[in-house]
Amino acid sequence: MSGSDPSHDVDLTGAVAAAGAAATMEDTCPPPEQVRDLLAAAVRLYARSDELGELAEPIDGTQVTATEAVTVVAALMRAQHLNPFDLQLWLDRTPDGR
């Protein structure tokens, strides 16, 4: 990747594959601390990509279930002491209101 934009020199393909494989395990899960740290890093990366205008497309309904999405949203909102009103302010900031 030499000569390319240095902001794109990090390849997360292996990490994405490992997380995807762990997410499909039936009766086991990685240690909670690792899951929490992975989610926190993914959230920071997603937010940073959004800030830089580099998100190709938003997450669609086929990548996570509604239950998975709400579970994560609720956990993040609790962690930051946010309420539905705070969330609505952020939802309204998007150009298409979605």
pLDDT in tens, 4-14: 555 567 888 99
What's the length of the chain?
98
> With 50 as the cut, is the pLDDT of residue 3 above it?
no
In-domain check, residue 9: no
In-domain check, residue 42: yes
Q: Domain range holding 52?
A: 29-58
- What b/e readout covers 10-25, taking b as 16+ CB neighbours within 10 angstroms? eeeeeeeeebeeeeee
Please give the pLDDT value at position 2: 44
Q: Which residue has the tokens 């990490």?
A: 15
Q: Residue 93 has which token pair?
A: 């900031």
Per the CB < 8 A criterion, the answer to whether 54 and 46 are in contact is: no
Q: Residue 75 has which token pair?
A: 């956990």
In-domain check, residue 54: yes
In-domain check, residue 78: yes
The reply to whether 53 and 67 lie within a common domain is: no
The reply to whether 54 and 37 lie within a common domain is: yes
Q: 40 falls in which pLDDT band (50, 70, 90)?
A: very high
Per the CB < 8 A criterion, the answer to whether 21 and 13 are in contact is: no
